[in-house]
Amino acid sequence: MSVRVLVLTGLVTATVGAGFWLNSGGHDSARSLTGSNATVQANAQQLLLEGLAPQALNIDQIRIENAAGTLFSARREGERWLATHLDTQRTFPVDIAPLSDLVSELSEAHILEYKTRKPENYARLGVESLAQDDAQSVKISLSAGDSEWQVLLGNVASNGLGNYARLPDSAVSCLLDGVITVPDSASDWLQQEVLPFTAPDIDSVLFQNQGGSFTIKRSDDGEEGWQLEPIDQEQTLVYPGVLEQTVSDLVEFRYQRVTPFADSEWDNAEPHSAVTFSLKDGSKVFGHLSNADESGSFRIWFNTPDSGHWVSDWVFLLSDFQAQPFRKALDDLVEKPEQ
């Protein structure tokens, strides 16, 4: 079983498995580097973060910071990981896969070469302290109970082999044997599937916009499939399966970023359309799409009065393309009459 699978299992179940140990031998870690200013070849078995490998499955907090502040932070609660960097009180579910990759990459990261220990040269490698103006580094902090590991991650070497790095309490920098993956934005590692239902749970979907309203509902004949109301006998769908595809696109929508929901801000938003999901259990979920802003982005908020689901705590920013399923008009689904 791969290290990544083991870490992923640990992040999800919080169960410590046997046999995860990576062979770090008796070599010193980067915590005790005392090399000269010149490049020095490191032992191939020298791990960057001493003691992380055997504790990887116990990691319960992760924080990633840059010069602008906290880019990402998350904590484990039971079998879930929740992002804590988006709001001081509200949390958001995290995609487990990139967390697993990060912990695996850091657990397996070895030092290829020692680099400069002169602070004036740190900027060349991107391993400056975050307290320095215009710092390029990314600080990664991992915690497992009372144990903590930190590293300042720098630029990727010109040959693409790996990142430059430095431990915050060490003067000497180093070149790693691989590239460590970090998020580019605060929303990159968030869970994308956010609605509290799937397509099989839906009984009907009501679309309402300035052009009128229409409904996609389950077929009356009891067979699997969808039907459109209203539709004239002379009208035909633009292609077979368009209704099923439309429902799927709604449920599986993707977003650019999220912001905490605030009544006062949403009350001032200009409405574009509304989508009401009627579920087989009798509950309803209401999606409210705002008009595009100056940049062409839309915002959507889902009200879940029957379940109080956490998705109602957030507003999702959508690109023009991502908003298309929620902006459907009847003309998008039926053939236009011949002139």
Quote the CA–CA distance of 77 and 165 in Å, as a whole number. 30
Write the pLDDT tens digit of every residue in 235-290: 899 999 999 999 999 999 999 999 999 988 777 778 899 999 999 999 999 999 99
If asked whether residues 19 and 101 sit together in one domain, one would say: yes
Residue 325 belongs to some domain of the structure:
yes
Helices and strands, counts by H and E, the chain:
7, 18
> Structurally, how many domains does the chain consist of?
2
Q: Are 274 and 210 in contact (CB under 8 A)?
A: no
Which of 116, 141, 176 lies at the terminal end of a domain, its last residue? 176
If asked whether residues 154 and 242 sit together in one domain, one would say: no
Provide the CB-side half-sphere exposure for 62 (13 A, CA): 28
If asked whether residues 99 and 209 sit together in one domain, one would say: no
**pLDDT band, very low/low/confident/very high, at 14 (cuts 50, 70, 90):** very low
Residue 27 belongs to some domain of the structure:
yes
Residue 35 belongs to some domain of the structure:
yes
Quote the CA–CA distance of 175 and 226 in Å, as a whole number. 57
If asked whether residues 235 and 325 sit together in one domain, one would say: yes
According to DSSP, residue 190 is labeled B
If asked whether residues 144 and 215 sit together in one domain, one would say: no
Q: DSSP string spanning 272-288?
A: EEEEEEEETTS-EEEEE
pTM for this structure? Answer: 0.84
Give which of 216, 194, 199, 201 is closest to 300, Cα–Cα.
194
Q: What is the pLDDT of residue 177?
A: 95
Q: What is the pLDDT of residue 267?
A: 77
Which of 121, 145, 176 lies at the terminal end of a domain, its last residue? 176
| Mean pLDDT, residues 205-230 taken together | 87
Quote the CA–CA distance of 75 and 66 in Å, as a whole number. 19
Write the pLDDT tens digit of every residue in 290-323: 999 999 999 999 999 999 999 999 999 999 999 9
**pLDDT band, very low/low/confident/very high, at 96 (cuts 50, 70, 90):** very high
If asked whether residues 157 and 286 sit together in one domain, one would say: no
If asked whether residues 221 and 155 sit together in one domain, one would say: no
Give which of 172, 19, 49 is closest to 109, Cα–Cα.
49
Write the pLDDT tens digit of every residue in 35-91: 344 455 655 579 999 999 999 999 999 999 999 999 999 999 988 999 999 999 999
Strands 271-279 and 92-93: unpaired
According to DSSP, residue 225 is labeled -
pLDDT top residue among 22 and 40: 40
Quote the CA–CA distance of 67 and 244 in Å, as a whole number. 46
Residue 339 belongs to some domain of the structure:
no
Q: Which region among 109-113, 213-217, 234-238, 320-324 has the lowest average model confidence (pLDDT)? A: 234-238
Listed in sequence order, the DSSP H helices in 109-175 are 122-125
If asked whether residues 234 and 282 sit together in one domain, one would say: yes
| Mean pLDDT, residues 92-117 taken together | 96
Residue 148 belongs to some domain of the structure:
yes
Range of the domain at 245: 199-332
Give which of 60, 53, 51 is closest to 31, Cα–Cα.
51
Provide the CB-side half-sphere exposure for 311 (13 A, CA): 22
Report the CATH number that the domain containing residue 301 is assigned in CATH.
2.60.40
If asked whether residues 50 and 121 sit together in one domain, one would say: yes
Which of 176, 191, 223 lies at the terminal end of a domain, its last residue? 176
Residue 28 belongs to some domain of the structure:
yes
Phi, psi of 186 (to 5 degrees): -70, -15
If asked whether residues 268 and 217 sit together in one domain, one would say: yes
**pLDDT band, very low/low/confident/very high, at 2 (cuts 50, 70, 90):** very low
Residue 186 belongs to some domain of the structure:
no
Does the structure show a pLDDT above 90 at 108? yes
**What end-to-end distance do the CA atoms of the chain give, in Å?**
64
Q: What is the pLDDT of residue 15?
A: 29
Residue 185 belongs to some domain of the structure:
no
If asked whether residues 19 and 133 sit together in one domain, one would say: yes
Does the structure show a pLDDT above 50 at 99? yes
If asked whether residues 293 and 253 sit together in one domain, one would say: yes
CA 13 to chain centre: 19
Listed in sequence order, the DSSP H helices in 205-317 are 242-251, 263-267
Mean pLDDT for all residues in the chain = 87
